[in-house]
Structure 1
Amino acid sequence: MNETTPRPQVWPMLRARDPRGLIRFLVEAFGFEETVVYGEGERVDHAELSWPLGGGVMLGGTREVADDPCGLRPGTFGAYVVTDSPDELFARAVAAGARPVRELTDTDYGSRDFIVADPEGNRWSFGTYRGHPAG
């Protein structure tokens, strides 16, 4: 990201039973980049992972419901992420242990995409569709 690229203003967030393990998986399997991790030992209070094409996700370890105002449960997250190389990314993700939910497919709206689950059970959909332009 350079000085003219705006920082993301919407951050999907998720919780993990094994946050350090999930961070390693997301970096290895999908190519997210670890930006910052706060916490000691295996505990992760807050982490940010950047996506090379823009945007990113925030995550942290599970917390007692009373202490977690978001009340998010591990394994309930889902996201669509744009990629220019779905075939290569699918092979990388599966080789790293992602569980295929939907194999590579060409959609009727012009995307080539797939869906996999990470070790926590979260669903990650990757494809070439960049969304409809605003306005």
Structure 2
Amino acid sequence: MTNVNPTVWLTLQAHDAPALIDYYVRTFGFVVAARYGAEDTVDHAQLNWPEGSGGIMLGSHRPGAAWSREPGTAGGYVVVADPDALYERVLKQGADVVRPLAKTDYGAREFAVRDPEGNLWSFGDYAGEPAPS
């Protein structure tokens, strides 16, 4: 079996998907790879994390749909090469910091913010433990 790096896509729905996409690009640095739908409705968007594989798939909230979740109830962790630089960026953008940048007991540097829809985001340099052999 080939050793493949994991790729995880967080899936979100938003009350104001266009505004949330703009926030993620401006505040965190995600890159829009695709966006489908009308001006105020996002059927599907793909935002790539520029430092590696994975990212976000998101769209406008559609109550009653088979894949419907209440906006603002997700949480995600994103590995970053330089948490200090990203922390300065989010502070300049006025992000809602819920946990300031600090060193953890396990040696990582991390911080957490709440996005405008209420989702929690943690950013840090902890890339996880290697997979067991």
TM over 0.5: yes
Q: Separation in 1 of the partners of 2:37 and 2:81?
A: 33
The aligned residue for residue 56 of structure 2 is 57
Q: Separation in 2 of the partners of 1:84 and 1:10?
A: 18
- 1:23 to 2:17 alignment: no
Q: Separation in 1 of the partners of 2:109 and 2:68?
A: 34
Q: Report the TM-score when normalising by structure 2.
A: 0.90
CA RMSD of aligned residues (A): 1.6
Correspondence for 1:129 among 126, 129, 133:
126
Kindly report which structure 2 residues correspond to 1:24-39, keeping only aligned pairs within 5 A, or say none. Answer: 24-39=22-37
Matched residue count: 128
**Unaligned runs of at least 5 residues, structure 2:** none
SS of corresponding position for 1:113: strand
Deviates more, 1:7-16 or 1:86-95: 7-16
* 1:36-60 Cα distance to aligned partner (Å, 9 max, x none): 0010111001000000122111000
Contact 1:33 1:51 in 2 (8 A): yes
Deviating runs (4+, > 6 A) in structure 1? none
Q: Separation in 2 of the partners of 1:97 and 1:62?
A: 25
The aligned residue for residue 3 of structure 1 is none
Q: Report the TM-score when normalising by structure 1.
A: 0.89
